[in-house]
Amino acid sequence: MDKISIFIVDDHQIVIDGLKALLDDIEDFTIVGFSTQSKKVTQMLATLSADILLTDVMMPEKNGQALAKQIRTQFPDIKILALSMSGAGEIVHEMTNNADINGYVLKNIGKAELETAIRKIAGGGIYFGEEILTELEKHPR
């Protein structure tokens, strides 16, 4: 069985460390890289092979939407899972409609849901957390 390779970007190192600690225990997941600087991600991905980009949405240098759009253009095979504290309808719409992401979950989810989201996206599906779906229903586009 091939491992699912994951690259993590979040402007908070403690979040990256926590995600690495959670995901390192999953036998068929491998963390191939990480960065707290979103503007350096494309440069790093050019030398790595990643299946999934697990990205924060609200980052100071380059937000998740801008990063996702750039990844989509430069690395169209990489699947993008947004991980955010905000599930506000406008932000979710921007990420889904303008950045063409594969999934969106909130940072309040547990390990099991994160694993489910990554597996579903890696398998070619999409995944949106329950709170995200509820928000999208409240603010349809």
Say if residue 9's pLDDT is above 70. Answer: yes
Q: For the chain, give the percent of residues with pLDDT over 70.
A: 88
The radius of gyration of the chain from alpha carbons, rounded to an integer in Å, stands at: 14
Sign of CA pseudo-dihedral 24, 2, 80, 60: positive
Burial of 1 (C-beta count, 10 Å sphere; 0-12/13-18/19+)? exposed
DSSP 8-state class, residue 94 = I
pLDDT tens digits, 26-47: 999 999 999 999 999 999 999 9
Q: For the chain, give the percent of residues with pLDDT over 90.
A: 67
Helix spans in 25-141 (H) = 41-45, 64-74, 89-93, 111-122, 130-138
Domain 4-138, CATH: 3.40.50.2300
- At 111 the pLDDT is 95
- At 89 the pLDDT is 62
d(CA 132, CA 86): 9
Averaged confidence pLDDT in the chain: 89
